[in-house]
Amino acid sequence: MATDPDDDASAFLEEVKDVAPIRAKQRVAAPPKRPPPVPVQSALDEREALADSLSDKVADEIRLEIGEELSWRRDGIPHDTLRRLRRGEWAMQDQLDLHGLTVEEARALLTSFLDASVKRGLRCIRVVHGKGYRSANGEPVLKRKVAGWLTQRDAVLAYVQARPEDGGGGAVVVLLKGLKRAPVPLP
């Protein structure tokens, strides 16, 4: 059964004829929305943690003689691991090139790269720090810094100087911890 729109409009007007508009003074204004709080302390804490995560204190303790090869392994990692890394038994899954960066830029980039590599489940990466030929004193500044920074990261198990075809004295090959996998339940 179809109804006439004019009948609906008249019926509506009949129903609301005694309704009086609300006076403006009786309206309650909703409180303005507050802006979300700015986590200033959290940002400061994160910035401080980043700075502390790769401290120069350790890097400054690493002294390199000319021609000395970089290598390091975490306690509990077999010495054989360094030999296997030198031979290239692990395929390099990604790399980071720090050429031309300042120490602060390199530190921030290396931190991000290591975090991303661990999240991606990578096991073997290469970090190119350069040989330092363009440094002010002709010394490899980033080489020593990178060596120190890597020893401070729990995810780094070992590193060695790259093979000549992979960058030689201007790069390190880094072995990272694998992702912990949850055990598969038995049926």
Write down the pTM of the prediction: 0.64
DSSP labels for 74-120?
-TTS-THHHHHHHHT-SPP-EEEE-TT--HHHHHHHHHHHHHHHHHT
pLDDT digits 0-9 by tens, 30-77 = 888 888 888 877 777 676 665 555 555 544 445 444 456 889 999 999
The pLDDT of residue 55: 58
Task: Domain ranges for the chain, please list them.
Answer: 71-176
Overall fold of domain 71-176: Ribosomal Protein S8; Chain: A, domain 1 (3.30.1370)
pLDDT digits 0-9 by tens, 106-141 = 999 999 999 999 999 999 999 999 887 777 676 778
State yes or no: pLDDT of 187 exceeds 70.
Answer: no
Angle of CA points 65, 83, 89, to nearest 5°:
125
